[in-house]
């Protein structure tokens, strides 16, 4: 009995040792996703893309021969939940190499902790406050461990205002065009508010008092009547698509003739389908060079990754899914560089982001827009691709069919390359 007991104990020790070695052989990352909260309409496709991409990476050999252990959590867009998860991910015995983050409120709340604990976070928030690694601009606190893929909310709004000023002039309209910022009184919609209003004034717009509407869908008839009576010509929608749809529909009913400018999360193919003709003509920034099914070599990689959660290959993926794939693959390559240069630690992962100029992840040519991050400037790109939604009929039915038939189209209208002004860093 004693010998048997010793053998079983020895076996248990071996199992535990093997498990421990296996755990050490993995690269751990945290993943914040909103599948059920205030931004779940766009958080779901983006979060799914991140999860699919790392599953695909693991299927294809992992990173430096190691599997990536992704701890995906639906935090319902709640800051306290994000902070609780961060405490777990930053604990010495289970510290992650990096985080794939999400919202503006939680990302900004964690910025100081990320720097202190040396954990890079590639977020779904594109707040300009996250772009100044050293805090030299005086506009935002230092954010050396924060990254995101795509132009900032502020730079996207600046680009749309440049287009709007040209649009007003092209139409030969008299007087000053009127601009209004619309969205929830929340860090995400408010992130580009001051920058946008300053740019609008600089371009000769009359800036109207902002109009507030909640992140959740609702009855926004009152806001649309205010919009109509204000005489606004251009309105920035700062919320995600779900509540923006409510506004667009209500404003169509109210007869408010206004050109909507959607933020990067404020419009997509699903929103166009749901809003129907109320979404016709919305201008919004596209983070990738093409949308789903677009003519680019890298679309083959996107399609392969999509099959992780859709083996049929028949699900239409909106713009946020494609951008999520790009984001995850930038992180994958930064992790890969780190693994080959001293190990996948936070400091090395950050250095991994600085290794390339005009960087497109391998296999994503023509899909991900070239990006450059430096230790002085985390504005990955200042090139903003502006698109317009075009609705030419009833939007009932399958999204694949509606896109294939051209009932819903995303038409490119302008590329705006903003100057890399130091005074606009972090703002």
Per-residue pLDDT at 2: 46
Nearest to 57 by CA among 312, 380, 361, 371: 361
Cβ partners under 8 Å of residue 211, min gap 6? 180, 181, 182, 223, 226, 227, 235
Does 161 share its domain with 268?
Answer: yes
Is the same domain home to 399 and 272?
Answer: yes
Task: Fill in the DSSP letter of residue 279.
Answer: G
Look at residue 318 and tell me if it is in a domain.
yes
Regarding whether 413 and 281 lie in a shared domain, the answer is: yes
The CA dihedral of 240, 309, 330, 364, to the nearest 10 degrees, is -100
Number of H helices, E strands in the chain: 14, 13
End residue of a domain, out of 353, 370, 402: 353
Give the model's confidence band at 1: pLDDT under 50 very low, under 70 low, under 90 confident, else very high. very low
| Cβ–Cβ < 8 Å for 375, 352 | no
Taking only the tens place, the pLDDT of each residue in 207-234 is 999 999 999 999 999 999 999 999 999 9
pLDDT number for residue 276: 96
Q: Which whole number is the average pLDDT over 360-370?
A: 98
Does residue 361 form part of some domain?
A: no
Q: Is residue 358 part of a domain?
A: no
Per DSSP, 130 falls in state G
As a whole-number percent, the residues of the chain with pLDDT over 70 amount to 94
The residue ranges of DSSP E strands in 243-308, in sequence order, are: 259-262, 283-286
Claim to verify: residue 205 and residue 68 sit in the same structural domain = no
Q: Which residues pair with residue 414 across a beta bridge?
A: 386
Q: Are 203 and 150 in contact (CB under 8 A)?
A: no
* Same structural domain, 266 and 283: yes
Given a contact cutoff of 8 angstroms between Cβ atoms, the answer to whether 381 and 240 are in contact is: no
Is 147 inside a domain boundary? yes
pLDDT tens per residue across span 76-88: 999 999 999 999 9
79 and 200 assigned to the same domain: no
- Flag whether 366 is in a domain: no
Each residue's pLDDT tens digit, 131-182: 999 999 999 999 999 999 999 999 999 999 999 999 999 999 989 999 999 9
Terminal C-alpha separation, the chain:
72
| Same structural domain, 268 and 414 | yes
164 and 273 housed in the same domain: yes
- The parent domain of residue 134 ranges over 26-151+296-353
pLDDT digits (tens, 9 = 90+) for 293-345: 999 999 999 999 999 999 999 999 999 999 999 999 999 999 999 999 999 99
Q: Kindly report, residue by residue over 223-277, the tens digit of the pLDDT.
A: 999 999 999 999 999 999 999 999 999 999 999 999 999 999 999 999 999 999 9
Q: Say which CATH number the domain at 165 has.
A: 3.40.50.2300
Determine, yes or no, domain membership for 12: no
- Checking if the pLDDT of 58 tops 90, the result is yes
Per-residue buried b or exposed e for 400-420, using 16+ beta carbons within 10 Å of the residue's own CB: eebbeeebbbbeeebebebee
Same domain? 30 vs 99:
yes
SS3 label, residue 53: helix
312 shares its domain with 243: no
| Closest of 155, 159, 215, 161 to residue 183, by C-alpha | 215
Report the candidate in 220, 215, 218, 272 with the shortest Cα–Cα distance to residue 39: 215
Q: Categorize the per-residue pLDDT at 3 as very low, low, confident or very high, splitting at 50, 70 and 90.
A: very low
Q: How many structural domains compose the chain?
A: 2
Residues 224 and 109 reside in one and the same domain:
no
Same domain, 388 and 276: yes
Q: In the predicted model, is pLDDT for residue 384 greater than 90?
A: yes
Identify the pLDDT of residue 16: 41
In a domain, 372, yes or no: no
pTM of the full predicted structure?
0.93
User: What pLDDT, on a 0 to 100 scale, did the predictor assign at position 12?
Assistant: 44
């Amino acid at each position: 009995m004693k010998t048997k007991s010793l053998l079983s104990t020895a076996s248990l020790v071996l199992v535990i040792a093997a498990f421990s070695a296996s755990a050490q052989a993995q690269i751990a990352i945290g993943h914040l996703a909103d599948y059920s909260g205030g931004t779940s309409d766009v958080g779901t496709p983006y979060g799914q893309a991140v999860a699919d991409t790392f599953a695909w990476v693991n299927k294809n050999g992992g990173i430096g021969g190691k599997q990536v252990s992704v701890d995906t959590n639906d935090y319902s867009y709640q800051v306290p939940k994000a902070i609780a998860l961060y405490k777990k991910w930053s604990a010495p015995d289970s510290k992650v190499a990096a985080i794939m983050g999400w919202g503006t409120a939680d990302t900004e709340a964690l910025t100081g902790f990320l720097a202190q604990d040396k954990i890079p976070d590639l977020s779904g928030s594109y707040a300009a406050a996250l772009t100044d690694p050293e805090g030299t601009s005086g506009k935002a606190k230092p954010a050396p461990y924060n990254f995101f893929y795509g132009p900032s909310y502020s730079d996207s709004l600046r680009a749309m205002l440049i287009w709007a000023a040209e649009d007003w002039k092209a139409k030969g309209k008299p007087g000053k065009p009127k601009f209004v910022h619309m969205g929830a009184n929340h860090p995400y919609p408010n992130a580009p508010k001051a920058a946008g209003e300053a740019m609008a004034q600089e371009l000769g717009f009359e800036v109207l008092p902002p109009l507030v509407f909640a992140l959740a869908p609702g009855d926004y008839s009152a806001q649309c009547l205010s919009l109509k009576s204000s005489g606004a010509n251009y309105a920035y929608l700062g919320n995600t698509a779900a509540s923006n749809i409510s506004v667009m529909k209500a404003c169509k009913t109210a007869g408010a003739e206004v050109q909507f400018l959607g933020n990067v999360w404020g419009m997509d193919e699903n929103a166009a389908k749901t809003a129907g003709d109320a979404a016709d003509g919305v201008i919004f920034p596209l983070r990738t060079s093409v949308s789903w099914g677009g003519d680019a070599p890298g679309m083959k990689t996107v399609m392969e990754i999509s099959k992780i959660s859709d083996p049929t290959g028949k699900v239409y993926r909106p713009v946020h899914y494609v951008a999520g794939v790009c984001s995850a693959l930038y992180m994958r390559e930064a992790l890969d560089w780190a693994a080959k240069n001293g190990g996948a630690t936070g400091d090395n992962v950050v250095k991994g982001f600085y290794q390339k100029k005009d960087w497109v992840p391998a296999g994503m040519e023509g899909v991900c827009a070239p990006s450059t991050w430096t230790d002085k400037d985390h504005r990955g790109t200042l090139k903003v691709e502006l698109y317009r939604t075009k609705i030419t009929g009833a939007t009932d039915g399958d999204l694949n069919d509606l896109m294939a038939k051209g009932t819903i189209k995303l038409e490119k209208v302008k590329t705006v390359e903003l100057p890399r002004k130091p005074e606009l860093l972090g703002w």
